[in-house]
Amino acid sequence: MTTCKALESNTSSMIHRDHSHINLDHQPGLQLSQPAVKVENVHLDVQSGQQYLSILRGINWIIQPGNIQLLMGPSGSGKTCLLTILAGLLSPTRGKVYLLGQDITLMNRTQLAQFRLHHIGFIFQDFNLFPALTAAENIAIALQNKGVRGQLAQCEIQSLLERVGLEQQGHLKPRHLSGGQKQRVAIARALAGSPQLIMADEPTAALDSRSGHLVMELLRKLAKENGATVLMVTHDPRILDLADEVAHLEDGLLKAG
Amino acid sequence: MMIQTSTKLNSKFSFNVSLARRNLLEDIPRFLVAQAGIMFAVSLVTIQTGLQKGFTLSASKLIDQSRADIWVTAKNQVHLGLTTPLNLQQKKDAESVSGVRRAEGLIIQGAIWRTRGNSLSSVTLVGFDPNGTLFIPGTLQQGQLDTLTIPYTVFADLGSLPTLSLRKLGDGGLVGSLPAKLVGVTEGSQSLVLGNLLFTSLETATAYSQSPVTTKLPCEYAVEGLDCQAESGDYPLKPQPLTNENNINFILIESQPNQDLSDLRRRLESVLPNTRAYTREEMSQLTQSYWEKRSGIGYILGLGAVVGVVVGVVIVGQILYSSVSDHLKEFGTLKAMGASDWVLYRVILEQALWMGGLGYIPGMVLCAITASWTTATQGILILITPASAVTVLGITLLMCFTSAVFAIQKVTRVDPAIVFKE
Ligand SMILES: Nc1ncnc2c1ncn2[C@@H]1O[C@H](COP(=O)(O)OP(=O)(O)O)[C@@H](O)[C@H]1O
Ligand SMILES: [Mg+2]
């Protein structure tokens, strides 16, 4: 039987993507050739009953690779809408979105799904774990979708469970895990296959402040290890200290710092 | 430490994760309802088609088990129980046709059976030559074929003994106003079409068919309130010997070895005007297709099978649809994570496949029990062959895939953006 170590050295480039083209240590002030996220003049109008609402009114935004980027703003300001657009799950009424240098507003449904599959990990407010599957299987299904199976998948699941501190809980179903543990499984699932982008919507909203902070600390640490860029929507000021950058959304417009 | 964790993981986690199977087993009551639904749909289809098969097969049983190469019938014969008579002269004529080794007459005719308690049931008289070789009255359970040469003796099928109020050899009843004594029991010749069969000699069958049912009974049969003839010997001790004018219904032909049967058939038809000569297979086919198509019974049983399939599709469809509705957020999450549509379809199809497979097995067990019980107690054949079992499995899986279409429609419409909505 091959050990995980041996497998890893053979196939590390398969599991852990080569991030050499991205500057791992964020150095403010240094001009990078390619932002992780670039948003140009994004507008979103929605129809609500008889009237049209302008939710986003010209967003311009650049997120540097490897950053932990927070997006804050009052409730109803359109944070979730913006995140949904950046994740390729909703088309803006107008404007351009570039992820890792690719214009996702030009992609069709299938191309978007492929892009999300390989480049974006998601973390949700309500965890969105599969309740019928164990913690390990929740991670396995993400890998399975990416075509990672067998011994290779086993090793990555094991390593992810260890990295989120749940090596003893892998066989448990979500209903037997605490909120913080569930979100850690979700983090492991989001990191499976090492995507370069992690997108999270209010990931601490369902957690108490202590475990919320601990879980986000963990996310920050693991994302930094992977060199992933994190875009996190939150209105939780207690995790401000974990951010590299903070943006505010108000009246459909972005206000830096 | 590393190795320890690794072995623990290996034993505890299955890494070919089936969301379908897990979601199915997560809700056991719903799963059981689905299984029950499929089980009954499977049973309905199997029993209806088994009845149809058993019914048509048993309808031609007397033909199939005969040793005749050719059956000669009246031109207007419709089926075994509905034909105009031939006569014994024609049987003799057939014997002289070149290529014929042997010809035997056969009478198949309805009659009324009267028990000792004076209750009635309808029977089909099957008169044949007990010393002949071409007609076989099923498998003999008790008795000797040649005892049928004794006047007024009959064989009956095991399955019809209770109806005829017969318990053992030597018991009897009346056909018309003539006595009948049970001297043998056969098995496996009963058919729904012809009802209770009474096998007897050509002479006795002829005598029975000419004997009217009267209000008078021999005293040994008499019950309270009915006239009784003091002498039970008021009927001829022996049936009349048969003459060339006597009627029969079919002529069974054995050909000389190496005969071209279609030539022989032509010769027989030209020597015997107004008759048809069929090979045994043709005659069997004709009878089966009559009962399958022209009688409407095949249609009714086929309709039952179709209803079974429809019920199955509706039940499985409903269960799959509600299962998908309950797991919409999970499907949305899968979509957001970038899973292709096919991954989602596979989850549903796999779920359908599991339900179908797991419903099929108890369904078939139920059918096997029902079929053997029905045959044992009702004498009705429900035929379940390996081929029909495989066919029903195919129908079941098809049924489940059809019902998956509704659920797939629903999943296709799931907007992955719901994952960010509270
Ligand atoms: N599809 C839609 N139709 C109508 N109104 C919408 C739609 N999506 C979002 N909205 C509205 O847009 C506003 C912004 O929503 P959202 O992005 O969820 O805000 P946030 O996440 O900042 O609380 C809200 O007022 C919401 O009601
Ligand atoms: Mg929101």
Give the list of residues 6+ apart from residue B74 with CB closer than 8 angstroms, or none: B83, B84, B85, B86, B249, B274, B275, B276
Nearest-neighbour CA in chain A from B393: distance (Å): 29
Return the structure tokens found at B168: 């053992």
Q: Do A145 and B10 touch (CB under 8 A)?
A: no
The pLDDT of A115-128, averaged and rounded, is 96
Ligand nearest to the CA of A51: 1
Predicted pLDDT of residue A9: 57
Task: Report the complex ipTM.
Answer: 0.89
Mean pLDDT over residues B299-322, rounded?
86
Q: Which residue has the higher pLDDT, B233 or B155?
A: B155
Token duo for residue B385: 């062959």
| Distance (Å, whole) CA A219 – CA A184 | 8
Cβ-proximal residues to B186 (8 Å cutoff; 6+ apart), any chain:
B137, B138, B139, B140, B141, B155, B156, B157, B158, B197, B199
Largest CA distance in chain A: 65
Cross-chain Cβ contact B338/A115 below 8 Å: yes
The residues, ordered by sequence, that sit 6+ positions from B417 with a Cβ below 8 Å of its Cβ are A84, A89, A90, B332, B336
For residue range B51-88, list pLDDT tens digits in order. 888 888 888 999 999 999 999 999 999 888 889 999 99
Is the shortest distance between the CB of A125 and ligand 1 below 6 Å? no
User: Residue B382 has what pLDDT?
Assistant: 87
By DSSP bridging, strand A197-201 and strand A229-233 are parallel
Per-residue confidence (pLDDT) for residue A2, from 0 to 100 = 58
Residues across chain B:
422
Average pLDDT, chain A: 89
Ligand nearest to the CA of A200: 2
Q: Could you give the CA distance from residue A249 to residue A252 in angstroms, rounded to a whole number?
A: 6
What is the rounded distance in angstroms from the CA atom of residue B288 to the CA atom of residue B60? 6
Q: What residue spans define the domains of chain B? A: 16-59+297-420, 76-273
A72 Cβ closer than 6 Å to some ligand 1 atom:
no
Span A218-242, average pLDDT: 95
- Tens digits of per-residue pLDDT, B195-228? 899 999 999 999 999 888 776 666 666 555 556 6
Give the pLDDT confidence score for residue B225 in this predicted structure: 56
Q: Which residues of A touch B343 (CB under 8 A)?
A: 145
Average pLDDT of chain B is 87
State the Cα–Cα distance between residues B242 and B153, nearest whole angstrom. Answer: 17
Q: Under an 8 A CB cutoff, do B9 and A157 touch?
A: yes
Inter-chain residue contact A201 with B420, CB threshold 8 Å: yes
Which pLDDT band, with edges at 50, 70 and 90, does B238 fall under? Answer: confident
The pLDDT assigned to B117 comes to 77
3-class DSSP state of B422: coil
Please identify, by atom number, the ligand 1 atom nearest to the C-alpha of residue A79. Answer: 22
The secondary structure of residue A89, as a DSSP letter, is S
Q: CA triplet B391, B397, B400: central angle to 5 degrees?
A: 140
Q: What is the pLDDT of residues A144-200, one digit of tens each?
A: 999 998 899 999 999 999 999 999 999 999 999 999 999 999 999 999 999 999 999
Q: Report H helices in B187-275.
A: 202-209, 261-271
pLDDT value for A72: 96
Determine, for residues B416 and A89 on separate chains, whether the beta-carbon distance falls below 8 Å. yes
CA of A153 to the centre of ligand 1 (A): 38
Does the distance separating the beta carbons of A130 and B339 come in below 8 Å? Answer: no
B11–chain A nearest CA distance, Å: 10
Atom of ligand 1 nearest to the CA of A233: 21
pLDDT value, residue B14: 44
**What percent of chain B shows pLDDT beyond 90?**
49
More confident residue, B378 or B99: B99
Range with top average pLDDT, A25-34, A42-51, B55-64, B298-307? A42-51
Q: What is the pLDDT of residue A180?
A: 95
Task: Output the pLDDT for position B221.
Answer: 63
Q: What is the pLDDT of residues B144-200, one digit of tens each?
A: 999 999 999 999 998 889 889 999 999 988 898 888 999 999 987 877 788 899 999
- DSSP letters along B84-131, please? --EEHHHHHHHHTSTTEEEEEEEEEEEEEEE-TT--EEEEEEEEE-TT
Binding site membership of A76 for ligand 1 (Cβ less than 6 Å): yes
Q: Is residue B7 very low, low, confident or very high in pLDDT (cuts 50, 70, 90)?
A: very low
Q: Which of A224, A227, A220, A225 is nearest to A243 (CA)?
A: A220
User: Which amino acid is present at B3?
Assistant: I
CA–centroid distance, A98 to ligand 2, in Å, is 22
Chain A contact set for B25 (CB, 8 A)? 132
pLDDT of residue B230: 53
pLDDT band at B2 (very low <50, low <70, confident <90, very high): very low
B6 and A CB contact within 8 Å? yes
Tell me the residue type at A124.
F
User: For residue A4, which residues of chain B lie inside 8 Å, CB to CB?
Assistant: 2, 6
pLDDT for the residue numbered B218: 66
The pLDDT score that the predictor gives to residue B219 is: 66
A213 lines ligand 1 (CB under 6 A): no
Question: Tell me, what's the pLDDT at A227?
Answer: 96
Q: Is the pLDDT at A15 greater than 50, yes or no? A: no
| Statement: residue A21 has pLDDT above 60 | no
**The ligand 1 atom nearest the CA atom of A83:** 17
Closest-CA residue to B205 (of B135, B141, B255)? B135
In whole angstroms, give the CA distance from residue B113 to residue B179.
10
Q: Is the pLDDT of residue B15 over 80?
A: no
Q: Is B127 or B9 the better-scoring residue by pLDDT?
A: B127
Query: What pLDDT does B178 receive?
Result: 87
